[in-house]
């Protein structure tokens, strides 16, 4: 039987969202990621790997972990959308008969990500793609489109839910470990933050919230199913501008305020969220830049915002078909199989 197992290496959040969109035509996925929050029938097994975001020594440890996973699973191909955790797998694949397919993340609009630059420089890949045509030309790599409809052109009318008695505002800051107190301070200036008639659910990723809402719950992290329920129930979402969050808001046609994380405030290691924020054009999305205040909503206005419990399909299936060919048809001759 032909081996069609793909080892997907992607950190939780936007990298993983893009990887699963790109592998939409793949039925046998083994996943290596940082948080086991995924809920996808195509994912047969999940390996949790240590996060390398703030500790470079973990890369060395993960080389041995990569060897272990690859030897145990014997995938036909390794596929990734980048992030530092993939570097040990790229290195190991260079010396093993395993094809390595790299897709740079959608959030890198003007240049390759740091991981992409390193993998490209040292030629640790069999296939290399960018999701932006100008970036692909700049680095002489392939461009075959984007993993999903970033503009939300497929928006369609579905039956809205009944208006809530007390509206919910969902706040999500993603899965990374960088604090985001600037966002909390901005929300604390809103009257609805202090109104008990508005419910708040704040997912922080782990940092402390000094000013708490009048009626709310604060957690570090939530699973995929719980987050889906919260998105459906919420009248408004306030979010960092990560690709995973963008995708999530688009599929539920959500009214959302994006606040990009910025390097100058210690909110991330670079300004890629600012880059992707400037590409958003969906009318449901508002981007708030550092010099701006959050939009003001009354309780009545929150209640009137439509909410939907049905998703729309924004996956780029033509793109997924191309990825499928790159994963299997153009396989290295010395690969497992």
Same domain, 26 and 110: yes
| pLDDT score of 140 | 97
Same domain, 186 and 296: yes
| pLDDT score of 154 | 65
Same domain, 135 and 265: no
Same domain, 185 and 222: yes
Q: What is the CATH number of the domain that holds 121?
A: 3.40.50.2000
Is position 142 within any domain? yes
Query: Which residues have C-beta within 8 Å of that of residue 153, sequence separation ≥ 6?
Result: none
Is position 161 within any domain? no
Is position 129 within any domain? yes
Query: What's the DSSP call for residue 244?
Result: H
Same domain, 200 and 105: no
Same domain, 30 and 144: yes
| pLDDT score of 282 | 93
Is position 309 within any domain? no
Q: Is the CB of residue 197 less than 8 Å from the CB of residue 213?
A: no
Is position 319 within any domain? yes
Is position 25 within any domain? yes
Cross-sheet strand order for the sheet of 43-48: 43-48, 29-33, 6-9, 77-80, 99-103, 127-130, 142-143
| pLDDT score of 336 | 42
**pLDDT one digit per residue (tens) for the chain, 337 residues:** 578 899 999 988 899 999 999 999 999 999 999 877 666 788 999 999 877 666 667 778 889 999 999 999 999 999 999 988 999 999 999 999 999 999 999 999 999 999 999 999 999 999 999 999 999 999 999 999 999 999 877 656 678 999 999 999 999 999 888 999 999 999 999 999 999 999 999 999 889 999 999 999 999 999 889 999 999 999 999 999 999 999 999 999 999 999 999 999 999 989 999 999 999 999 999 999 998 999 999 999 999 999 999 999 999 999 999 999 999 875 444 444 4
Sign of the alpha-carbon torsion through 312, 314, 318, 324: negative
Structural domain count of the chain: 2
Same domain, 289 and 319: no
| pLDDT score of 63 | 92
| pLDDT score of 93 | 96
Is position 296 within any domain? yes
Coil vs helix vs strand at 59: helix
Same domain, 320 and 247: no
Is position 337 within any domain? no
Same domain, 142 and 73: yes
pTM over 0.85: yes
Same domain, 134 and 214: no
Domain that holds residue 194: 168-304
Residue among 125, 101, 107 nearest 13 (CA): 107
Same domain, 122 and 237: no
Sign of the alpha-carbon torsion through 328, 332, 335, 337: positive
What is the rounded CA–CA span in Å between residue 4 and residue 2? 6
């Amino acid at each position: 039987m032909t081996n069609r197992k793909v080892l997907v290496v992607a950190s939780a959040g936007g990298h993983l969202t893009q990887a699963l969109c790109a592998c939409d035509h793949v039925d046998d996925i083994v996943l290596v990621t940082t948080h086991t929050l995924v809920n996808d029938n195509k994912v047969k097994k999940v390996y949790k790997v240590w996060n390398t975001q703030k500790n470079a020594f973990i890369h060395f440890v993960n080389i041995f972990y990569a060897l272990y996973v690859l030897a145990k699973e014997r995938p036909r191909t390794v596929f990734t959308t980048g992030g530092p955790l993939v570097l040990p797998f790229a290195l190991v694949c260079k010396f093993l008969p395993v094809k390595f397919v790299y897709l740079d993340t959608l959030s890198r609009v003007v240049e390759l990500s740091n991981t992409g630059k390193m993998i490209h420089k040292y030629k640790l890949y069999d296939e290399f793609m960018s999701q932006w045509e100008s970036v692909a030309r700049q680095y002489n790599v392939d461009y075959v489109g984007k993993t999903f409809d970033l503009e939300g052109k497929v928006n369609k009318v579905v039956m809205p839910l009944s208006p809530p008695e007390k509206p919910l505002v969902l706040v999500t800051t993603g899965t990374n470990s960088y604090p985001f107190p600037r966002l909390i301070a901005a929300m604390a200036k809103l009257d609805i933050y202090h109104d008990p008639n508005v419910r708040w659910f704040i997912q922080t990723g782990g940092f402390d919230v000094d000013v708490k809402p009048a009626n709310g719950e604060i957690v570090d992290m939530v699973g995929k199913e719980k987050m889906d329920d919260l998105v459906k129930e919420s009248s408004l979402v306030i979010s960092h501008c990560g690709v995973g969050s963008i995708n999530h808001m688009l599929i539920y046609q959500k009214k959302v305020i994006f606040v990009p994380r910025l390097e100058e405030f210690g909110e991330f290691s670079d300004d890629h969220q600012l880059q992707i924020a400037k590409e958003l054009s969906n009318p449901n999305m508002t981007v708030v830049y550092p010099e701006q205040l959050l939009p003001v909503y009354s309780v009545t206005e929150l209640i009137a915002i439509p909410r939907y419990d049905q998703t729309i399909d924004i996956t780029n299936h033509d793109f997924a078909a191309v990825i499928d060919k790159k994963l299997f048809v153009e396989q290295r001759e010395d690969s497992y199989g």
